[in-house]
Amino acid sequence: MFQMLKIERKKWLLAMVASFSILGCSSGKANKAEQVTLPPIPPVQQQFNYQTIIDKAISDAVPGIVLLVETPDNKFLGAAGLADIETQAPMQIYHVMPSGSAGKKLTALLTVLFEQEGLLNLDDKIHNFLDAEILAQIENSDNITIRQLLNHTAGVFDYLDETTADNFYNAVLASDPQQLKLDQFALTFALNKPAYSTPGETFNYSNTGYLLIGLILDKLLAEHHSVAIRNRILEPLGMHSSFYGGIEMQFGDIVSGYFKDDIVGTFNTKPFYESIGFADAPLRSNVEDLALLLRNIVAVDSSLSEDVRARFFEPESIVKINESTEYGLGIFKEKLNNKTVYHHGGLEAGYTTANIFIDDTQTSITAFFNCGLDVQCEAESDQVIHAILDNELK
């Protein structure tokens, strides 16, 4: 799944300096040249037009886009292209899409809230919660903690590893689209597979860890954790357009998503995602709700308590990936152009998400594209996000 924003930096230098000579003449006297240097003419400021950016980005690879850019002083919310190619229905600003791994922060938030209620501790071992049958098929399961699953240091095999992803997607396509598929369905593609590392050793992005978190939450609740997500997060935060994939279909509808395959061509993946609900990518949302979720976790002016927000990036939780990038609980933290940027993208077959918050300027950037997992869509959607992010980081 989409993990980290690849930021490309460009610097422009525009200097316009004008100077000219004025010849002064006086009657009966020799001409004398006097040079006068005028102050620099300021460059013409071109206003960055978000609507133009997304309008121009619509192509055969990118059917539709929804974009939110919000600062304390300004808000842009716009849409471009099509929500459905077959019906030619236009994309709308309120449309809902699967947010992919950008929804990991939702699962992480519920886990932290449970800790605040005393139902678990982030450093509890997972063997205290999961069935022995599952634990026996996960290497190092005796030593893995909940925190390590959330910050990808558990070393558990990713069910979307390049060696198993095709098997997973083929199984989804071969199944009844209306069959509800929850965490256990995806987990089967990660069982009895070798660990990437020993628990706590290093960062290895693994969607499987969040499936296991989902099963742990179910055990604690004696019901599916989507109920707690609605009652403890979606409703209190005012995320009224959001719902849990598959299991909460009655709360809304998603737009069509398009995946290009070399063999079968372009097809609509919406019928399959309507019945999928995994804890590693649980959220169906619009751009405003997703931006609201990230902001509440990382910004000071939040509905969440400081204790809850602190758990995401405390020293025990945060993992250094490289010189500029760290990972907390379901969220990347990165230094870009000397600014602190929180983000997590999402990539599904037919859907691409960018979810970003620039702390220094309190700027939210959230974008949805109803295409995903093909090279052209990735290249063109990245170009849009990079252009907007570069503008906001100036």
Mean pLDDT to the nearest integer, 117-144: 97
Which residues are CB-neighbours of 354 under 8 A, at least 6 positions away? 5, 102, 343, 345, 365, 366, 367, 381, 385
C-alpha–C-alpha distance, residues 351 and 348, integer Å: 5
CATH label, 50-392, candidates 3.40.228.10, 1.10.510.10, 3.40.50.300, 3.40.710.10: 3.40.710.10
Mean pLDDT to the nearest integer, 267-274: 96
Instruction: Please write the tens of the pLDDT for every residue from 28-78.
Output: 333 333 333 444 555 544 578 999 999 999 999 999 999 999 999 999 999
Query: How wide is the angle at C-alpha 334 spanned by C-alphas 110 and 94, nearest 5°?
Result: 55
pLDDT of residue 157: 98
pLDDT of residue 67: 98
C-alpha–C-alpha distance, residues 244 and 17, integer Å: 58
Measured CA to CA in angstroms, residue 185 lies from 122, 126, 219 at distances of 25, 19, 17
**CB-CB contact of 359 with 109 (8 Å):** no
pLDDT of residue 265: 85
Measured CA to CA in angstroms, residue 164 lies from 157, 167, 193, 335 at distances of 10, 5, 10, 33
Give me the count of residues in the chain.
Answer: 394
pLDDT of residue 48: 86
pLDDT of residue 40: 54
DSSP letters of 129-186? TS-HHHHTTBTTGGG-BHHHHHTT-S-PPPTTSTTTHHHHHHHHHHS-TTS-B-HHHH
For residue 32, give the amino acid letter.
K
